[in-house]
Chains A and B, each alone.
Chain A
Amino acid sequence: MIVLEDVHKSYGKLKILRGCSASVKLGEVVVVCGPSGSGKSTLIKCVNGLVPFEQGSITVDGVSVSDKKTDLPMLRARIGMVFQNFELYPHMTALENVSLAQIHVLKRSRAEADAGSEKLLARVGLGGKLASRPSQLSGGQQQRVSIARALAMDPKAMLFDEPTSALDPEMINEVLEVMQALALEGMTMMVVTHEMGFAQRVADRVLFMDGGEILEDTPKAQFFTDPATERAKQFLTKVLTH
């Protein structure tokens, strides 16, 4: 579904990604973890072309992200993305947030879009918050609206960039539960997260990044019991004990 081959990315002289290769198969859930600054966000944003890269290739559902002839907006419409800081449109209601791209990208009528949005918001447990603005919602609720917004495009795959890092601890679970339900329904997912509990329950494989490289790409069970690299071991002790 998602195939990355030897992706390189620098900002000026600074090398951020040094040849990353990985793949996420249809229906698979891959968790990406690693220390802060290791390039996880950059990598996941390369997948839907939000961050351009200089070398290597990424294909999603057979379509190349970096090919000039690719209609990037059309490709992005088929890949949902959820950000660390929710990034909801603050001047719109929850319903409008979810409907906007349905109307302007999928060309649905407003009524049709709103009906779809209502269903999705109900599905993430926010059926009663249709008319609320982001500022009136808790972090966990905002993040669930943001998941609904991404799902509204009927995506083939979902990208999550630390979806629970900005949340108060008591709100983390409500978001993880929505994600877990999504995974059980067979959604293809690439999830940057430090929630190792989520990884243990839901992931098929774990990618471990450090210094712009993917140091490990291992099935979940092996990653937690017997990581191949020393750095992954250190990382695990840190996140599992805190």
Chain B
Amino acid sequence: MNYRWNWSILLQEPYTEWLWSGLQWTVAISLVSWAIALSVGLVVGVVRSLPSGILRVIAGVYIDVFRNIPPLVQLFLWYFVLPEIVPETIGLWIKRDLPYPEFVTAVVAIGLFAGSRVAEQVRAGIEAVGNHLMPAALATGLRPLQAFRLVVVPLGLRAIVGPLTSEFLVTVKLSSLSLTIGVLELTAQSRHIENYTFQGLEAFTVATIGYLVIGLCVTGLMRLIDDRVGGAALRRAGS
């Protein structure tokens, strides 16, 4: 291989700054889309576990649609197609006045995709771990919705902290998709440096380490939460 490594490139202006800013965007996209995924996923997953009702059906449709369309396609639909099919004033607003339009579109698209997966985890957790305590809770005189809210859901949610770790990690990795609509996150900045300096391998090495560190932080954090809520023990008891 004739590649000439030149690590000093990373310390030159403006490349250090590019990478640093890319890392910050990656973290921002990951955190905001994860926040969206969690909030949407929790609500939809809980609704999906209700015994019946129109809301349950709607939740099922959301999960099926968003889980089955490739996330990249979803991103393009939100970014390129949505502004054209909504009423003109809204479309114009999205294109002209929405602050940070690429960032916002990216976190909405990634968040809603990951949210459908989180919702499935929530539903599965409630079914596997929470539901079998329903009769015991009802026997004490709790009403079905009380039993669901006070016993079944809290229990189901504790059990899925572990499985949610991989969903969080998926979300971090999906953040790199947003370069396709012009967000200058970590991967985009690395390519940028390659184009300017032909020293892409150094830049991508840094990006790789960046993703690795973020991933390890996520894993550590989730493990901490799992320990606190005793999730592992609950998953064993439920199976």
Measured CB to CB, the residues of A under 8 A from B are 45, 48, 50, 73-74, 76-81, 83, 87-91, 100-101, 104-105, 133, 135, 149-150, 152-153
Contact = CB atoms under 8 A, between A and B. Distances in A.
A76 B234 CA distance: 27
Contact of B139 (A76, A88, A89, A152): A76
Contact of B146 (A50, A104, A152): A104
B142 A50 contact: no
A101 B230 contact: no
A100 B140 CA distance: 9
Interface of B: 132-133, 135-144, 146, 150-151, 154-155, 158, 229-230, 233-234, 237
A105 B141 CA distance: 6
29 contacts: A48-B139, A73-B138, A73-B141, A73-B142, A74-B141, A76-B138, A77-B141, A80-B139, A81-B139, A83-B135, A83-B136, A87-B133, A87-B135, A89-B133, A89-B136, A90-B233, A91-B230, A100-B140, A100-B142, A100-B150, A101-B140, A101-B141, A104-B146, A105-B140, A105-B141, A133-B230, A135-B233, A149-B140, A150-B139
A89 B155 contact: yes
B142 A101 contact: yes
Among B135, B136, B155, B234, which residue has the most Cβ atoms of chain A within 10 A? B136
Contact of A50 (B132, B138, B154): B138
A73 B143 contact: yes
Nearest to A152: B140
B150 A104 contact: yes
A88 B234 CA distance: 12
A50 B58 CA distance: 29
B136 A87 contact: yes
Given A83-B136, A100-B150, A90 B234 contact: yes
Contacts of A104: 142, 146, 150
B231 to A, nearest CB: 10
Nearest to A150: B140
Contacts of A50: 135, 138-139
A79 B139 CA distance: 8
Contacts of B135: 45, 50, 83, 87
B136 A90 contact: no
Which 5 A/B pairs are nearest by Cβ-Cβ distance?
Answer: A77-B141, A87-B136, A101-B140, A81-B139, A105-B141
